[in-house]
Amino acid sequence: MITLGTATPGGGFPLYGAAVIDALSDVASDLALSPRNTKGSTENLPLLEAEALDIALVQGEVAYEALFGIGRPPSPVRILAAMYGTPGMFVVRADSPYHRISDLRGKEVAFGARGSGLVILARYVLDGIGLDQNRDFSAIYLDHAGDGPPMVLEGRAAALWGGGTGWPGFTKLAESPGGARFIAPSAEEAALIRAKHAFLKPLTLPAGSYPGQSEPIRSVGSWSFILARPGLGDDVAYRLARDLHRAEPALARRLPQARETTAANTATAAPRPDLIHPGVARYLREIGLLP
């Protein structure tokens, strides 16, 4: 039995975790996964380091800071699989007067659940254009990810921050009777952000990812990862990598963003090959994705 740390109900991580568990059952994996709701990426990481979880979902910025020792010693956790890219952006009601990030200055903005890596992504994005979550906005940090959309719909918040395809908060607002509008950094703002924080990548939300979204939305963001605890055995990691590879079609059917969970993306999205779990690296070499 493998314990899988996700996040608070109502967010994208529990949805993704359920899809992974179901897809692995389709390939008759002999490794059973048991999901565990947590506060999100910032709790998942110390739980992995304490060997209290076997594997966990961790948003890109949290993973980056841990693996490279930004503001802390480098973490011994390792990459099991790349999940999906997360272009970060705001969503507002379609009838709101807000069209640019600067329009939201001084407004109530729900930045996500307290333990979510999306909050950290917002911090980097805003810092790149000279803004601060707490200084320039009336920042709201949620106890549960699902609390954000009602705040925007009821006018208690001007905007909700989030990211990626199939994110539940974006879906709920886009499916609301009045519809929604997405606000991402402009091309000039994206260039400033990447000049200051080069680990962020240009990412695009494809057209049609959400109801009413007829055009692609270009933003910046990072890859989220399934990370493994330091003591996870090489054979277990190898079997998980193999079974996830076999389950790729089943994952894609269950969740749009899970189409990006591929062995090929794991090989290319990892910042360095040595940050991939040795058992996973062995499997990727066997199928020709690592030298």
List, run by run, the mean pLDDT of 10-residue segments along the chain (291 residues).
93 94 90 94 96 97 94 97 96 98 98 88 97 97 93 98 93 97 98 95 94 97 96 98 97 94 96 97 98 96
Do both 119 and 65 map to the same domain?
no
Instruction: Answer for the pair 112, 144: CB distance below 8 angstroms, yes or no.
Output: no
Do both 116 and 210 map to the same domain?
yes
Do both 92 and 198 map to the same domain?
yes
Do both 13 and 97 map to the same domain?
no
Per the structure, the complete domain to which residue 134 belongs is given by 86-221
Task: Tell me what pLDDT residue 38 has.
Answer: 95
Any domain includes 141? yes
Determine the Cα–Cα distance for residues 125 and 180; give it in Å rounded to an integer: 21
Task: Tell me what pLDDT residue 113 has.
Answer: 87
Determine the Cα–Cα distance for residues 11 and 250; give it in Å rounded to an integer: 21
Helices (H), the chain: 12-26, 41-49, 60-68, 117-128, 133-136, 148-153, 168-174, 187-196, 234-246, 248-254, 263-269, 278-286
Determine the Cα–Cα distance for residues 250 and 18; give it in Å rounded to an integer: 12
pTM of the model: 0.84
Do both 94 and 206 map to the same domain?
yes
Task: Tell me what pLDDT residue 66 has.
Answer: 97
Any domain includes 291? no
Any domain includes 6? yes
When divided into structural domains, the chain yields a total of 2
Task: Tell me what pLDDT residue 114 has.
Answer: 81
Of 166, 197, 221, the residue at which a domain comes to its end is 221
Of 221, 241, 276, the residue at which a domain comes to its end is 221
Task: Report which DSSP code applies to 287.
Answer: T
Of 221, 241, 263, the residue at which a domain comes to its end is 221
Q: Is 235 exposed, middle or buried (0-12, 13-18, 19+ CB in 10 A)?
A: exposed
Do both 150 and 187 map to the same domain?
yes
C-alpha distance from residue 105 to each of 98, 100, 108, 170 (Å): 10, 10, 9, 21
Do both 166 and 250 map to the same domain?
no
Query: Residue 235: which CATH number?
Result: 3.40.190.10
